[in-house]
Structure 1
Amino acid sequence: MMRTLRFLHLWVGLILGLPLLALGLSGTVLVLEPELRGLFTPSPTAAADTGAAAHSVAEVVAAATAAAPPGAKPANYAAPTEPGGTATVRFQAPRRAPPGDAGARPAGEARGPSPGGPGGAQRGPQGPGGGMPGISVHIDPVTLAVVRTPGLDATIGWFHRLHGNLLIQDRSGRDLVGYLGIVMSALGITGLVLWWPRPGQWRQAFIVRKAAKGARFHRELHGAAGIWGLVVFLVVSVTGVAIAFPQTIAAGVGSALPMAAQTQGFAVPKVTPLEGGEPAGVDEAVAIALAASPRPGLALRAASLPQSPDQAIRVVLAPHGGAMTSAITLMVDPWARQVVEVRDPSAQPAGNKVTGWMRPLHEGEGLGPVYRVLVALSGLLPLLFAITGTSMWWIKRQNRKAGAARAAAILQSAAE
């Protein structure tokens, strides 16, 4: 059994090393996305310097829409995460007309990136299975000035698509990522079995000895890094599978734990438009959500912008400076002007809490900065495993060749 596990562990790792490496490194980049944005995005100082009040959500969206490419439709508003920060409006990118087709397709049907518009609009992640709109515009909510982030959104968007669907713009890409997550989990478990030390060798199994050279050095580094990072590595891998196959995982969790039905993921429930009526705008929807919030002291974190008349408005509220794991989501019917669904993690059944933690655990949220750093480092483990695993295989292969050559030389010398 051990020989078979060793064979499978080696060759699965060698054959799938590149896509696993891509998932790991892109995951590290996305965990560090806030730091990258803080490093490359200038922070507006109008709010801090003047004390002026921020404009309404609708006014910020209107300013962003004026800076976006023609035909781009606003899809989501994200409030500043700190005083003096920028608000972000994400758009569904307008779909390019194919060669010879003079008519443009409706906004929101984009399959490929659309050119960035004037005033700092950048291409971002998009496409089926990508989970995010195609263009982001960053706005100072006090002055309504566009904050430019040249190339950053396009770069981050590329990493989102690489990590979410390996740049394959249909559901098969997301499924492939889910299967690779299963492979990564299996490599972690088989690695634990292969690492398991003999009696009396436990201490050595957790360290890399100074005297270790060649294949032994790579084997000890491979094992020590694997065992120290195994828990977080498995958590990130398993939660990645859950994100790729949410319905399957939810059904499995629901069979073991109590679970209430709710709209899955970022989807919003359908509502019934009122003929001759006027739906509530995003500002009114936010006010309705704040008034209906089951917990006091929450502030707006994000709001969706309906893409069709039969969509509810998703409003996300969270404590000032709090993690998204403590946020609650309220779905507002803009026609009836009432909340039709509340997702409060503290009031959900156990099954909903389990599934609700999948994405925060995968993205490094909710358990403090130390866990977030560990999640970022876990994305580097596939690179380390690829280097040390390939090195062990290559050195042993060369040693076998050298041994065979020596044996052949001895036999030839004896024959002479």
Structure 2
Amino acid sequence: MSILTLKNRRKLWLKVHLYLGLFAGAVFVVMGLTGSLLAFEYPLDEALNADLMTVSADDNKTIMPLDDIVAAGLKTVPANGKVLNIDFPRHQELAYALWFEQPSDNPTFPTRHQIFINPYTAKVTGQRLLIDFDHIWRDPFKDFILRLHYTLALGEKGMTIVGFIGIGLLFSVLTGLIVWWPNKGQFKKAITIKRHASVERFNFDLHKTVGFYSAFILLFAIASGVYLIFPDYGRGLVSVFSPVTPWASYQSEIPTGDKIPLSIKQITAITDARFPDGTYQFIVFPQSAQDVYLVGKRQADEVNQHHPYRQLWIDQYSGNILHTQDASTRTAGDVFDEWLYPLHTG
């Protein structure tokens, strides 16, 4: 009776694994192919948009003042545009990127644009639409692939669909391990491919063997993807084991006299005084009279190359540093959260 029960359970898990694999696996192919391209997203984007993004540089050229670079970009922003932030070049042959957004058909997701400015001449090299969340075919190739990867070109609803498909894929991998699990004394047979077997047996052995060896990589890649789709739930789960620092929100103190925000030069001077080392990655501009400057200046040893953990929130009028986030303030949960994106993207 116990043997029959075991066989019935195995058949049940086999069916679950089969149908999850047929549905979620087909979507996983799309996510896997797009994810592979995204491992090279920055070099790919620069190669496809060299006229916009790249500049000629040598060691004798001097970078123009940052205020001049920003001012050049601001002249190109349309009247209904809202300036968001400036991204610093990753190397000396790239332009600065000034981000702005414009209203779209979907008020939740305005379209986002970039203006590129040559750091050595403070002249605009061009601009482009970067993100139209509901019409991804308008995006540049890199962002089209990114949106396809985590929304399947279905907009906001697509993110939720991809998240639940990811949960289905987790169960598919886990049920595959259950079906694969060998009987006593059969472990070696379960992790090898039989020689001189029929095509059917070869395909079966290939599936179960490759599936076993790749299962743990797949489990992490899928689980981390689900975490990135549902970050609030993911951070809440991690917080059960170690606190995760909440996303910060601060406000500037509006002065009674002149309400003139500090210049970018003054903001970088304040940042450099607090953190002399590191590499600037972005400065987010205040979006209202009470908002603050947010500065990202990555430390050399940070694992996340794209999203710096070290950041400063600076009062736009007084220049007071309202909050700092760096390695000295990290919890174990913060370290886990910081590592997740680079491990997911490779």
Question: What is the TM-score when the length of structure 1 is the normalising length?
Answer: 0.68
- 2:112 maps to which of 105, 114, 134: 134
2:171 is matched with which residue? Answer: 186
**Alignment partners' CA distance in 1, 2:283 and 2:195:** 55
- Where structure 1 has 5 or more consecutive residues not aligned to the other structure, the ranges are 99-108, 112-126, 365-416
Structure 1 segment 33-44 matched on structure 2, within 5 A: 33-42=41-50, 44=54
**Alignment partners' CA distance in 2, 1:324 and 1:64:** 28
Q: Does 1:274 align with 2:255?
A: yes
Summarize the Cα distance change of 1:336–1:178 in structure 2 as closer, same or farther, 3 Å threshold.
farther
Counterpart AA for 1:40? L
CA contact (8 A) 2:114 2:129 kept: no
* TM-aligned CA deviation for residue 143 of structure 1: 2.3
- 1:309 maps to which of 280, 289, 297: 289
- 1:48 maps to which of 54, 58, 63: 58
Structure 1 segment 133-212 matched on structure 2, within 5 A: 134-147=112-125, 154-170=140-156, 172-209=157-194, 211-212=196-197
* TM-aligned CA deviation for residue 70 of structure 1: 5.2
CA contact (8 A) 2:303 2:338 kept: no
1:233 is matched with which residue? Answer: 218
Instruction: Say how many residue pairs are matched.
Output: 325
Answer 1 or 2: higher relative contact order, Cα 8 Å, separation at least 6. 1
**Alignment partners' CA distance in 1, 2:293 and 2:76:** 23
Counterpart AA for 1:27? G
1:401 is matched with which residue? Answer: none
CA RMSD between the two structures? 3.1
Structure 1 segment 15-414 matched on structure 2, within 5 A: 15-42=23-50, 44-48=54-58, 51-67=60-76, 71-92=80-101, 94-96=102-104, 127=109, 134-147=112-125, 154-170=140-156, 172-209=157-194, 211-263=196-248, 268-275=249-256, 276-293=258-275, 296-319=276-299, 323-324=303-304, 327-364=309-346
* TM-aligned CA deviation for residue 164 of structure 1: 3.1
Summarize the Cα distance change of 1:57–1:225 in structure 2 as closer, same or farther, 3 Å threshold.
farther
**Alignment partners' CA distance in 2, 1:257 and 1:319:** 23
Counterpart AA for 1:154? P
**Alignment partners' CA distance in 2, 1:79 and 1:38:** 14
The C-alpha deviation readout for 1:125-170, integer Å capped at 9, x for no partner, is xx38xxxx62223332112344569899622222222233333333
Question: What is the TM-score when the length of structure 2 is the normalising length?
Answer: 0.80
1:9 is matched with which residue? Answer: 17
The C-alpha deviation readout for 1:48-85, integer Å capped at 9, x for no partner, is 16x22212333333333445555333322221112222
CA contact (8 A) 1:81 1:321 kept: no
CA contact (8 A) 2:112 2:129 kept: no
The C-alpha deviation readout for 1:12-41, integer Å capped at 9, x for no partner, is 221233433332222222222023124334
Counterpart AA for 2:255? L
Summarize the Cα distance change of 1:4–1:59 in structure 2 as closer, same or farther, 3 Å threshold.
farther
Summarize the Cα distance change of 1:269–1:164 in structure 2 as closer, same or farther, 3 Å threshold.
farther
Counterpart AA for 1:134? R
SS of the counterpart of 1:197? Answer: coil
Summarize the Cα distance change of 1:13–1:330 in structure 2 as closer, same or farther, 3 Å threshold.
same
SS of the counterpart of 2:84? Answer: strand
**Alignment partners' CA distance in 1, 2:265 and 2:214:** 45
**Alignment partners' CA distance in 2, 1:178 and 1:72:** 32
CA contact (8 A) 2:282 2:295 kept: yes
* TM-aligned CA deviation for residue 322 of structure 1: 6.3
**Alignment partners' CA distance in 2, 1:239 and 1:195:** 24
* TM-aligned CA deviation for residue 328 of structure 1: 1.1
SS of the counterpart of 2:283? Answer: strand
Q: Tell which deviates more after alignment, 144-153 or 300-309.
A: 144-153
CA contact (8 A) 1:87 1:141 kept: yes
**Alignment partners' CA distance in 1, 2:252 and 2:129:** 38
Q: Tell which deviates more after alignment, 35-44 or 340-349.
A: 35-44
**Alignment partners' CA distance in 1, 2:269 and 2:250:** 19
CA contact (8 A) 2:190 2:208 kept: yes
* TM-aligned CA deviation for residue 330 of structure 1: 1.4
- Where structure 2 has 5 or more consecutive residues not aligned to the other structure, the ranges are 1-8, 131-138
**Alignment partners' CA distance in 2, 1:287 and 1:146:** 25
Counterpart AA for 1:273? I
